[in-house]
């Protein structure tokens, strides 16, 4: 009986072994195929994602964080007081119009009062309910004069105080080599772009701190992020602003003060007195429209971004990414471009062309 049981259990074990062997043989190739299919699927998905990202990057007009934010947030602007410097033309004029369309109360500043009144009339004709005040000022004036301007701005709209300070005004000289710049050019650039802007901030911030809220939006430049041959002074002034406002943010962010630094590349402004004037532009330079630049700036501000880049990758946006994340390679690339870009600017050629990098000749 015991021998019989042993034999039966042995035969059972044998049958089960045969079964499992059969199962292994039957399913073996399929289970081996499955990981290969999964790998293939993962590779295809990866390639599709990479192609999508390359396409998005090739057609982007801003950095990825900025473009992922969506639309400007009206709830952050409606009824708020927005003070815009450099509002008499260019980006500042369009910013003013777009802020008005979102329900903001506006204070428009620049030196030219007539132009500011023109901008005000335009805004009111398009948005009859808007509240707009004109406050002429010269950013290169002394501290006492700027203090008076700040007090005037704070007293407007029943002393509501400034919610957004849009530091947009700037002085830009025609492109030329760093050593061709003059003492007069150095002072003119830094008095407006750096000293005036910082002094205005230092005078206004205490009012914001008293209220426990306020937002500085600084119109810097791609030139404030990367070496900019042919615009050394302008670039230095924008780097200075980036340094100051990033430091200010870290000191005051826990006290209700926000800072957004916007770094546009070439923008298609209609008429400008600075180096970006249309007469000095090359027709093949691909520029972001001034309306889109203003819209992206308001998106960056109302979504509370700390920094935003606005440009096509032509190659400005691409260079910004390389210099930011791979500075050694970025500076090596800029060294290849430097002298050729100064030369191209002098000959009114395209100062933003890939040819500067890959072309053999000095001129574009």
Is residue 105 within 8 Å of 79, Cβ to Cβ?
yes
Q: How many CB atoms lie within 10 A of CB 147?
A: 16
Establish if 264 lies at the interface with ligand NAP (CB under 6 A): yes
Establish if 139 lies at the interface with ligand NAP (CB under 6 A): yes
Is residue 339 within 8 Å of 229, Cβ to Cβ?
yes
Residue among 154 and 171 whose Cβ is closer to ligand NAP: 171
Q: Is 234 a catalytic residue?
A: yes
* Tokens encoding 218: 């600084």
Q: Which stretch binds ligand NAP (CB under 6 A): 61-69, 70-78, 203-211, 272-280?
A: 272-280
Residue among 274 and 338 whose Cβ is closer to ligand NAP: 274
Considering 234, 244, 312, 321, which one is annotated as catalytic? 234
Q: Taking CB positions, which residue lies at the least distance from ligand NAP?
A: 90
Q: Which of 226, 220, 341 is nearest to 285 (CA)?
A: 341
Establish if 76 lies at the interface with ligand NAP (CB under 6 A): no
Residue among 138 and 291 whose Cβ is closer to ligand NAP: 138
Establish if 145 lies at the interface with ligand NAP (CB under 6 A): no
Q: Which CA distances in Å does 147 have to 141, 150, 203, 269?
A: 10, 5, 6, 31
* Tokens encoding 200: 């205005």
Establish if 170 lies at the interface with ligand NAP (CB under 6 A): yes
Least Å distance, CB 145 to ligand NAP, is 11
Establish if 230 lies at the interface with ligand NAP (CB under 6 A): no
Residue among 104 and 262 whose Cβ is closer to ligand NAP: 262
Establish if 273 lies at the interface with ligand NAP (CB under 6 A): yes
Residue among 209 and 318 whose Cβ is closer to ligand NAP: 318
Interacting residue with ligand NAP among 97, 100, 150, 192 (CB under 6 A): 192
Establish if 221 lies at the interface with ligand NAP (CB under 6 A): yes
Establish if 127 lies at the interface with ligand NAP (CB under 6 A): no
Bond before 118 cis per omega within 30 degrees = no
Establish if 276 lies at the interface with ligand NAP (CB under 6 A): yes
Establish if 92 lies at the interface with ligand NAP (CB under 6 A): yes
Torsion from C-alpha of 274, 231, 266, 277, nearest 10 degrees: 20
Establish if 98 lies at the interface with ligand NAP (CB under 6 A): no
Least Å distance, CB 189 to ligand NAP, is 10
CA distance 301 to 312: 20
Least Å distance, CB 200 to ligand NAP, is 10
Establish if 297 lies at the interface with ligand NAP (CB under 6 A): no
Q: Is 282 exposed, middle or buried (0-12, 13-18, 19+ CB in 10 A)?
A: middle
Q: Which of 200, 119, 189 is nearest to 167 (CA)?
A: 200
Q: Which residues of 304-334 are buried (b: 16+ CB within 10 A; e: fewer)?
A: ebebbbbbbbbbbbbbbbbbeeeeeebeebb
How many helices (H) and strands (E) are present in the chain, helices listed first? 12, 9
Residues that bind ligand NAP (CB under 6 A): 85-86, 88-92, 110-112, 115, 137-140, 168-172, 192, 219, 221, 264, 266-267, 269, 272-274, 276
Q: Would you name the residues annotated as active-site residues?
A: 234
């Amino acid at each position: 009986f015991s021998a019989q049981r042993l034999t039966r259990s042995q035969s059972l074990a044998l049958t089960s072994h045969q079964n499992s062997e059969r199962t292994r043989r039957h399913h073996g190739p399929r289970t081996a195929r499955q990981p290969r299919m999964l790998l293939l699927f993962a590779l295809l998905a990866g390639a599709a994602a990479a192609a999508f990202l390359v396409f998005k990057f090739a057609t982007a007009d801003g950095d990825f964080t900025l473009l992922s934010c969506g639309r400007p947030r009206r709830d952050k602007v409606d009824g708020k007081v927005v003070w815009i410097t450099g509002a008499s033309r260019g980006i500042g004029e369009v910013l003013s119009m777009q802020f008005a369309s979102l329900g903001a109360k506006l204070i428009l500043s620049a030196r030219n009062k007539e132009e500011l009144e023109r901008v005000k009339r335009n805004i009111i004709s398009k948005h009859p309910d808007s509240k707009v005040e004109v406050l002429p000022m010269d950013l290169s004036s002394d501290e006492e004069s700027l203090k008076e301007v700040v007090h005037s701005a704070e007293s407007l709209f029943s002393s509501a105080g400034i919610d957004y300070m849009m530091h947009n005004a700037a002085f830009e000289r025609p492109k030329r080599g760093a050593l061709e710049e003059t003492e007069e050019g150095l002072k003119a650039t830094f008095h407006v772009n750096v000293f005036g802007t910082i002094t205005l901030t230092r005078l206004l911030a205490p009012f914001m701190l008293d209220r426990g809220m306020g937002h500085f939006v600084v119109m810097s430049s791609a030139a404030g992020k990367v070496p900019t041959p042919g615009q050394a002074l302008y670039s230095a002034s924008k780097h200075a602003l980036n340094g100051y406002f990033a430091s200010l943010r870290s000191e005051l962010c826990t006290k209700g003060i926000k800072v957004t630094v916007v770094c546009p590349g070439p923008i298609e402004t209609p008429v400008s007195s600075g180096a970006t004037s249309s007469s000095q532009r090359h027709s093949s330079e691909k520029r972001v429209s001034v309306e889109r630049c203003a819209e992206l700036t308001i998106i960056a501000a109302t979504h509370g971004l700390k920094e935003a880049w606005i440009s096509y990758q032509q190659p400005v946006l691409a260079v910004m990414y390389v210099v930011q994340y791979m500075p050694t390679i970025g500076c090596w690339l800029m060294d290849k471009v430097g002298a050729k870009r100064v030369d191209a600017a002098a000959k009114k050629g395209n100062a933003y062309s890939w040819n500067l990098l890959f072309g053999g000749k000095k001129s574009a």
